[in-house]
Amino acid sequence: MLTLELTARETELLRETLEATRSTLVAEIARADTREFREMLRSREAMVEVLLAKLAVPLHLREGTHKSVVR
């Protein structure tokens, strides 16, 4: 597992970047011509959602961890 220690500003920038990526993916999914491409984009969107959820929960509150991601 990779652990990143981020400042509050870094965390907010990462969150904003992921949210923008999610918006772009939603638009791309709507325009996708093939089912395979649409499925790949949906998979990426799901990964972005997981990352956003992880940013919402401080690392020290996650199971089996004791370090904080955000200082």
Residue 42 lies in a domain: yes
| CA atoms of 55 and 52, how far apart (whole Å) | 5
Which residue, chain included where needed, has tokens 């972005």? 48
pTM of the model: 0.76
Residue with more model confidence, 58 or 32: 32
Residue 8 lies in a domain: no
Residue with more model confidence, 23 or 55: 23
Domain count, the chain: 1
pLDDT value, residue 16: 95
- Whether residue 37 is predicted with pLDDT greater than 90 in this model: the reply is yes
pLDDT value, residue 3: 86
Residue 38 lies in a domain: yes
Per-residue pLDDT, averaged over 56-65, amounts to 61
Q: Which domain holds residue 31?
A: 16-56
Residue 62 lies in a domain: no
Residue 35 lies in a domain: yes
Residue 22 lies in a domain: yes
